[in-house]
């Protein structure tokens, strides 16, 4: 199976409710879609969102680096040589992780198609169903409680609470949600780098003093503040998880060697795709450190690839945060992985199993408009 061409498209899905974090507010899932065609007529799909405040990547920059650099590593190559292709992509340009991830997702889609099995089986897995949490965006307490009620009514029993923009109000938000939800759901906090180390300890000790048990606290301090993560981990009961501090296997090794965190959040858009995400999981496993598989605000192409990876690596990835498609008003993908409330059901067809995509707008001359 030889790669013939690379094409680009865009896909936009409105959200049920605006997605708000300490860093940004978003109203749509907007993806750049990468389409790789082979000479034998097979087609692989990848995608990436614009996340400039997290990865530094925008749709235009992703498209540009694929068009100018990465596609030249692919055209004319055999898809069966998947490891070399991924290594070539990683070495072709510094950074640009989302562009590399989009390419790798399409490559792994085609590779598993060539084997005639779903991606998770090609990666050595057998579990075909996962259960995800759902995100509750930072907002007024009343709005957040309402969003929690809707999530519970939709079957979610693990809630990831976005906070991090006002310390005292954040404490009140968590206390109110914990009292409101009671035992109906587990709570995860995502601070999105919104506090400093001392604020984190103050807030978490105040929350813990009320008897509130948190499953985890994600990235309370800025990504560079490894000392801060160590400071927090030494002083609170809650498990601390690295997200923006953990882009690469090398960074993860540093975090775990210092005892800075208890959990690592793997995201394809941070690692640069599945191959490097697998390496991160292997590093974490050497420290008996559990991993979460997460996503940016992405549609079901990229999130499906992440779900297949999690299903294949259940011993390394025990926590699932793949609610991106569930936040959209509809799923434009025909075939492939199904997202129904908290349940993710992986396709049993080859690759990612994508049959067609509704509303896909192909980009003329590779220009993002």
160 is annotated as contributing to ligand binding: yes
pLDDT of res. 368: 73
Q: Which of 20, 100, 267, 270 is catalytic?
A: 267
* 313 belongs to the catalytic site: no
> Residue 299: which residues within 8 A CB-CB, separation 6 or more?
11, 13, 29, 31, 47, 324, 325, 328, 331, 332, 333
pLDDT tens digit string along 305-318? 999 999 999 999 99
Question: Exposed (0-12), middle (13-18) or buried (19+): which is 105, by Cβ within 10 Å?
Answer: buried
Starting at the edge strand that comes first in sequence, how are the strands of the sheet with 343-345 ordered? 129-131, 343-345, 338-340
CA-CA distance, 195 to 314, in Å (whole number)? 32
DSSP sequence for 14-47: EEEEEEE-SS-EEEEEEEEEEEEEETTS-EEEEE
Burial 271-291 (b: 16+ CB within 10 A, else e): bbbbbbbbbbbebbeeeebbb
Residue 11 and residue 48 in contact, taking contact as beta carbons nearer than 8 Å: no
Residue 92 phi, psi dihedral angles, 5° rounding:
-75, -25
Tokens read off for 166: 């006002």
243 is annotated as contributing to ligand binding: yes
190 is annotated as contributing to ligand binding: yes
Tokens read off for 80: 């069966």
pLDDT tens digit string along 208-224? 999 999 999 999 999 99
Low-confidence ranges of the chain (pLDDT < 70): 22, 366, 369
Its CATH architecture, for the domain 3-117, is 2-Layer Sandwich (3.30)
Residue 15 and residue 26 in contact, taking contact as beta carbons nearer than 8 Å: yes
Q: What is the DSSP letter of 267?
A: -
> Tokens 């109110």 belong to which residue?
176
Task: Enumerate the domain spans of the chain.
Answer: 3-117, 122-355
> Tokens 């069966």 belong to which residue?
80
pLDDT of res. 317: 97
CA-CA distance, 169 to 171, in Å (whole number)? 5
pLDDT of res. 217: 98
208 is annotated as contributing to ligand binding: no
289 is annotated as contributing to ligand binding: no
Residue 231 and residue 208 in contact, taking contact as beta carbons nearer than 8 Å: no
Q: Which of 100, 162, 270, 313 is catalytic?
A: 162
323 is annotated as contributing to ligand binding: yes
CA-CA distance, 220 to 106, in Å (whole number)? 33
Residue 6 and residue 76 in contact, taking contact as beta carbons nearer than 8 Å: no
3-state secondary structure 175-191: HHHHHHHCCCCEEEEEC
pLDDT of res. 369: 67
**Under CATH, which number does the domain 122-355 receive?**
3.20.20.120
> Residue 32: which residues within 8 A CB-CB, separation 6 or more?
8, 9, 10, 47, 48, 49, 50, 59, 62, 63, 102, 368
* 162 belongs to the catalytic site: yes
Question: Exposed (0-12), middle (13-18) or buried (19+): which is 112, by Cβ within 10 Å?
Answer: buried
pTM of the predicted structure, to 2 decimals: 0.95
297 is annotated as contributing to ligand binding: yes
């Amino acid at each position: 199976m030889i790669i013939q061409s690379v094409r680009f498209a865009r896909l936009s899905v409105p959200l049920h409710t605006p997605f708000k974090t300490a860093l940004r507010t978003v109203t749509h899932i907007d993806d750049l879609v990468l389409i790789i065609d082979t000479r034998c007529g097979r087609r692989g799909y990848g995608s990436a969102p614009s996340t400039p405040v997290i990865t530094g990547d925008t749709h235009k920059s992703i498209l540009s680096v694929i068009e100018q650099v990465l596609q030249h590593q692919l055209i004319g190559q055999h898809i069966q040589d998947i490891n070399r292709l991924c290594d070539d992509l990683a070495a072709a340009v510094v950074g640009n992780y989302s562009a590399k991830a989009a390419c790798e997702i399409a490559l792994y889609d085609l590779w598993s198609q060539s084997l005639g099995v779903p991606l998770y089986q090609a990666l050595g897995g057998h579990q075909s169903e996962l259960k995800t949490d759902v995100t509750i965006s930072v907002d007024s307490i009343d709005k957040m409680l309402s969003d929690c009620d809707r999530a519970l009514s939709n079957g979610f029993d693990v809630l990831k609470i976005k906070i991090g923009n006002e310390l005292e109000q954040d404490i009140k938000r968590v206390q109110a949600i914990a009292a409101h939800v009671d035992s109906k759901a587990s709570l995860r906090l995502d601070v999105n780098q919104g506090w400093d180390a001392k604020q984190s300890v103050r807030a978490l000790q105040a929350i813990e003093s009320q008897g509130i048990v948190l499953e985890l606290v994600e990235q309370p301090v800025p990504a560079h503040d490894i000392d801060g993560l160590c400071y927090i981990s030494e002083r609170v009961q809650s498990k601390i998880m690295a997200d923006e501090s953990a882009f690469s296997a090398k960074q993860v090794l540093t975090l775990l060697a210092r005892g800075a965190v208890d959990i690592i959040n793997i995201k394809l858009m941070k690692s640069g795709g599945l191959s490097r995400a697998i390496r991160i999981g292997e590093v974490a496993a050497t420290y008996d450190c559990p991993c979460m598989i997460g996503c940016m605000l992405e549609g079901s192409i990229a999130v499906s690839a992440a779900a297949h990876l999690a299903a294949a690596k259940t011993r390394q990835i025990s926590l699932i945060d793949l609610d991106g498609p569930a936040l959209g008003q509809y799923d434009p993908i025909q075939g492939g992985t199904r997202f129904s409330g908290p349940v993710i059901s992986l396709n049993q067809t080859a690759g990612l199993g994508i049959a067609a995509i509704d509303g896909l707008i192909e980009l003329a001359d590779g220009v993002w408009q």
